[in-house]
Amino acid sequence: MPSPRPLLLVAGFLGAGKTSLIRSLLAQLQRRGIKADVILNDIANANIDAASINPDHAASISPLAASCACCESLEDARFLCHLKCAERVLSIC
């Protein structure tokens, strides 16, 4: 069984630098031989942010668009977590 991967949750206001932080963290993790599964949530268009992330730095990139993952898309976010990393997820509350 593969070892669990760390989970990072990044939230913040529009223009706060969340995507830049994620790109930087993914590059640092990749230099250490770690690839993360990324789920991007954006009410407007998560595909724009997903396209700006280097696919070589992530195990997978899944946009979750047109809703808020902490409200109406919570079930979609949980489903993506299970789908992308079912063998590594210990638990999702």
Full DSSP string of 8-68: ------TTSSHHHHHHHHHHHHHHTT--EEEEEEETTTHHHHHHTS-GGGEEEEEEEESS-
- What is d(CA 13, CA 93) in angstroms, rounded to the nearest whole number? 24
Q: Give the dihedral sign, CA 62/93/26/24.
A: positive
Tokens for 27, please give them: 């590059």
Averaged pLDDT, 21-43 = 86
pLDDT digits 0-9 by tens, 34-65: 888 887 877 777 778 888 889 899 888 877 76
* Domain positions in the chain: 18-85
pTM recorded for the entire structure: 0.69
Per-residue pLDDT band for 90 (boundaries 50, 70, 90) equals very low
pLDDT over threshold 60, residue 92: no
